Structures are given as structure tokens and as C-alpha cells.
Structure 1
Amino acid sequence: MIGKAALLETISGKNRGLLTTDTERQAILAAIAQLEDRNPTPRPVEASDLLEGDWRLLYTTSRGILGIDQVPFLKLGQVYQCVRAAELKVYNIAEVYGLPLLEGIVSVAARFQPVSERRVNVKFERSIVGLQRFIGYQTPGRFIRQLESGEKLAAIDLNIENRNQQGWLDITYLDADLRIGRGNEGSVFVLTKG
């Protein structure tokens, strides 16, 4: 049996999954599955008080997220998933770095709809790509307030109307500061609150 502390130690230093070998990835996925079997919140979608907040990505197998690091001159910084449970909204925010003064963010805003005690359907609505200094980016929370206020941002800001831009996420483990999810593309996500 592997516990939460052991999982966190296993993924430590793996740069959200960018620095894993196939063998390490298999060991991490096995550790995640063991922890999921001991989920302390049997109905995570209904635990809005636990879901609410700004979650920082610790580990993922998502090619979409990890692929940002493959773009020339860009390095993946912190990645956040900010859940606003009362509004049924989620904001994915990836900080990117590269050339001096060209630090940026890649963000997607979505709505989610609970469909079971652990699954939510996700519909992506808005994509924002811009330079941090031009949009005044400081923290995920402040950025979300900027978006919600209707403030015009000096960024590429697109509405997503394509019906194919949707998916689902199973919340397979949830406690006060750790969340594990599995997405429709087979990706796993390990996040910490705070």
C-alpha cells in the first residue's frame, strides 16, 4: 500500500511529468491507482467545499499540457486549475517562460456539469494567450478576477464555439489538499491546493 506522502515523494522532481522515464511513469501510475482506491471522499463532485480553490498541477500525463514545453524557446512554468464550484466554472492556466521579457500565459476557461458523483462534463468556452507583463498577470486568482470583470486584455482572447472542445473528467481522489483526476483522453492529473 502506498500513501499520499509516498506518492508525493515519487512525483517530486519530475517537473509535472516532463522528466519521467517509461519505468518511472508506470510506477507513478501504480502509486496513483493505489491512492485512488483509498479515496476519502466517495462523492467528490458533491464536495464543493473541497473542490473550490486554486489547484497547482504536480504531475500529469497530458500531452496537451506537457507539449507546451516542446515549443521552441518556451518552457512550461506552473500550471493551475482553478475551480469556482458555485459558478460551475474552471480555469486552466499555464505559465510559460522563455526569452527574457516574454513570459506568457496560456489559459482556457470552461464550464463543467456534474453527471455523476465523480464525473463532470467540461465544455471549453474561452482561450486566452498573452504576455504576462502586458496583461498584468500576477496570480491565478487575480487573473480570473480580470477575466470575470470583463476587463479587456492585451492578449489573444478567443471564444470557443466548437462542439468538439469538450470532454469529461473523473475526480478519483479528493481531500483537503490533494486531488487526482482522469480525463477523457486517458490523462491523469495530480494537483495540490494552495
Structure 2
Amino acid sequence: MSSKAELLEAIAGKNRGLLATETDKIAILAVVARLEDRNPTPRPIEAGSLLEGNWRLLYTTSRGILGLDRVPLVKLGSVYQCIRTKDQKVYNIAQFSSLPFLESIVSVRAKFEPVSGRRVDVQFDRSIAGLQSLIGYKSPSNFIEQIEAGKKFFGLDFEIKSGNQQGWLDITYLDDNLRISRGNEGSVFVLTKP
């Protein structure tokens, strides 16, 4: 079995990491490391056509993301990281479901700057949160188009002051539909795109 298939099998049923036991986490990280050793794209930041797009989170160790599922009466839905290489922007979008008609999203936008062939510095600059129906949320692409057209959204929509939220992200594996990244807080992210 290839390491990629092995990873997908290891994270299956783990609900992005929410259901992973400590033993699962150790096993998954071992498979991640083997796959990173076989990265087919040694300088992923320079592979704009592969990097570009709407990536859906399959698995993470990020306490920040996994903690989003602990809000009472709210279930974490799909989580996306949408990369726009031309504009050097990244959009993190988390969808939530709860009572009917109360589906919501939380999103942050960041600018990124390449600092090596696999690392980008990230500076968060805008946060948006609210009910999907009031925001007019239909899909990640549609939402990003609205943001870039200058729309201000009903709900929480504010700029993040420079310097308050920054970090870095290493892209340690990249092919046409799978990406593995490691963040400055030690988190691992496994994402896919159609």
C-alpha cells in the first residue's frame, strides 16, 4: 500500500482528528512523516498551479480548529483553506451546523509571503463570522469573490490589527490533490482538493 493510501486509510473515520485517540495520532504522524519523505514537489511554494485552489481539511492536530467543535449545540462542518497564489492570500473557512436555518461560518483571511521553497509567513488581516443565510454564503469560491469585491458582511466583520495574528506554514507534501502542512504552533494539516 502506498503511503498516500495508507494515510487516507489511517485518517478515515477520525472526523478531522476529533475522534483520534493518542495511539491514532502517533500512527497517523508516522505515516505523515513517511509521506513527507517522498514529497513529489520539493519546492511547493513555487508550484502555484498545484497550490492554488480550495483545499478541504481531512485531518489536523490543531487545537484551535478542533476546539471549534466544543461549542454547545454546534457541530463543526467542512473546513477549507483556500489559496489564491496570484494575490498571495489564504482564506480559512469553517462551516458550522446547528439548529435548522442557523448554519454559520467563521472565516479569517491572511496575506502570505514566501520565505523559502516550502515556507510562507502568514499575517492575518480580516475575520468574518455569522449566519450563512445572513452573510449570503453559498460556497468558499463565491464567498471569496464577495470579500474581494469589497463587501462588508452582516455579523462580525472586522480587520485584524497588524502584528496581532501572525505565524508561518511549511508545506511538506504537495501533489495534485493532497497537501500536508505544518504550522508554527506544531500543528499538522492534511488537506485535499477535487
Question: Per the shorter chain, which TM-score range?
Answer: over 0.9
Could you tell me how far 1:93 is from its partner in structure 2?
0.2
Query: What residue identity is the alignment partner of 2:52?
Result: E
Could you tell me how far 1:162 is from its partner in structure 2?
4.3
Query: What residue identity is the alignment partner of 2:174?
Result: L
Deviations 1:41-69 (A, max 9, x none): 00001111100000000000001101000
Secondary structure at 1:41 match in 2: coil
Q: How does 1:117-128 map to 2 (within 5 A)?
A: 117-128=117-128
Q: How does 1:155-170 map to 2 (within 5 A)?
A: 155-170=155-170
Q: Is the 8 A contact 1:50 1:176 kept in 2?
A: yes
Query: What residue identity is the alignment partner of 2:37?
Result: D
Q: How does 1:17-166 map to 2 (within 5 A)?
A: 17-166=17-166
Q: Is the 8 A contact 1:2 1:34 kept in 2?
A: no
Q: CA RMSD in A?
A: 1.0
Could you tell me how far 1:173 is from its partner in structure 2?
0.1
Unaligned 5+ segments in structure 2 are none
Secondary structure at 1:86 match in 2: coil
Secondary structure at 1:9 match in 2: helix
Q: Is the 8 A contact 2:123 2:162 kept in 1?
A: no
Could you tell me how far 1:152 is from its partner in structure 2?
2.5
Percent same amino acid among aligned pairs?
67
Q: Is the 8 A contact 2:88 2:111 kept in 1?
A: yes
User: Runs of at least 4 residues of structure 1 off by over 4 A?
Assistant: none
TM-score, scaled to structure 2: 0.98
Deviations 1:95-154 (A, max 9, x none): 011122111000000000000111000000000001001111111000000111112311
Unaligned 5+ segments in structure 1 are none
Distance in 1 (CA, whole Å) between partners of 2:78 and 2:186 is: 22
Q: Is the 8 A contact 2:94 2:107 kept in 1?
A: yes
Counterpart residue number, 2:183: 183
Deviations 1:138-189 (A, max 9, x none): 1100000011111231121010014130000000000000000000000000
State the number of aligned residues: 194
Could you tell me how far 1:74 is from its partner in structure 2?
1.2
Counterpart residue number, 1:13: 13
